[in-house]
Amino acid sequence: MLEEILFQLELGLPQIVLGLVNGAFYALLSLGLAVIFGMLNVINFAHGAQFMMGAFVAWMLLNWVGIGYWPALVLSPLIVGAFGVLIEKTMISRLYKLDHLYGLLLTFGLALIIEGIFRNEFGSSGLPYSPPAALGGPPVDLGFMFLPKYRLWVVVAALAMSLATWLVIEKTRLGAYLRAATENAALVQAFGVNVPRMVTLTYAAGVALAAFAGVLAAPIYSVNPQMGSSLIIVVFAVVVIGGMGSILGSVLTGFGLGLVEGLTKVFYPEASSTVIFVIMAIVLLARPAGLFGRA
């Protein structure tokens, strides 16, 4: 009996670690979505495309300008974030007075266009991007498994970034303004805060988070135009399960669902792409506002 349990544990432990790595991506991406939805009430369907752009900008920096991974980790989110500013200023800002659906349709259309452009330029089978030298080399021996250093770094970076975002929004004055503006924009504006600019920058920050995740993903997954669209649907499910707009909820749910998915891959791999949606359906039935959402 004990042997049986130990054997299952030996099988399961590595999968838990791998689940955490995938969960890190879900957490980062759903965090950006939650920030944007929480503050702007826009369902940003272009999030996957912006994640993909983050990876591609890192690739371009390396191959066209010769800038490596570490600077790209900062530069790529800034560049893609600037692109987010452009989109928000010229298009999304015109839709705030209308129904959510318009924002969704607009960003969905944008995602299709961006992906199409990249596919035309770079093809669909993807580009190579190596992990940085410091994190390459042989995998680390954890006793029960070998884990590439880079994956370990992904979990650490994602956790740090999530924590920082949460701190900024919950604990700083800027965050307080943001939350106040969400409740009553006119009143906050009356106090002399430039709300439209704050909203623009919030969107840019959400987009930059997606791009940051994109750079993190570049050495692990194939850098290809559809890399975002295959993740984004899962990430939306994560956001719905966590509760739309809840920062802490989306981070915890992201990691948690990564774990569940990882374990499914051992015990019933065929269902690994659907298990998250089954959970989503159950959560929506039991708690329509999500696990951490306010009804």
Partner 1 sequence: MGENREMAQDRRSLLKTAAAAAIAPALGAGLAGLPGRARAQAANTLRIGVLNDQSGVYREISGPGSVACVRQAIQDSGITQRGVNVEVVFADHQNKADVGSTVARQWIDRDGVDVIVDVPNSAVALAVNAVVREKNKAYFNSTGATTDLTGAQCSPNTVHWTYDTYMLAKSTGGAMVKTGGDSWFFITADYAFGHALERDTSKFVQAAGGKVLGNVRHPLQSTDFSSYLLQAQQSRAKVIGLANAGTDTINSVKQAAEFGVTRRGTKIAVLLMFINDVHSLGLNAAQGLVCTESFYWDLNDRTRAFTNRVKGAMGGNYPAMSHAGCYASVLHYLKAVGDMGVAAAKASGAEAVARMKAMPTDDDCFGAGRIREDGRKLHPVYLFEVKKPEESKGAWDYYKVLQTSSADEAWRPLAEGGCSLVRS
Residues found near partner 1 in the complex (CB under 8 A): 11, 14-15, 18, 21-22, 101, 105, 116, 119, 123-128, 130-131, 138-139, 145-146, 148, 150-151, 219-222, 224, 226-227, 230-231, 262, 265-266, 269-270, 272-274
Nearer to partner 1, 102 or 166 (CB): 102
Reference 236, options 197, 175, 290; nearest CA is: 290
Instruction: Decide whether 25 or 203 has the Cβ nearer to partner 1.
Output: 25
The span from the CA of 109 to the CA of 157, in Å, is 31
Identify which of 196, 289, 286 has the alpha carbon closest to the alpha carbon of residue 246: 289
- CA dist 102 and 96 (Å) reads 9
Helix (H, G, I), strand (E, B) or coil at 287: coil
Strand locations in 127-223 (E): 140-141, 146-147
Residue 124 or residue 172: which is nearer to partner 1 going by CB? Answer: 124
Q: Which residue number, 126 or 175, has a Cβ lying nearer to partner 1?
A: 126
Please say which residue, 141 or 183, places its beta carbon nearer to partner 1. 141
CA distance 150 to 136: 7
Q: Give the Cα separation of 105 and 264 in Å (integer).
A: 33
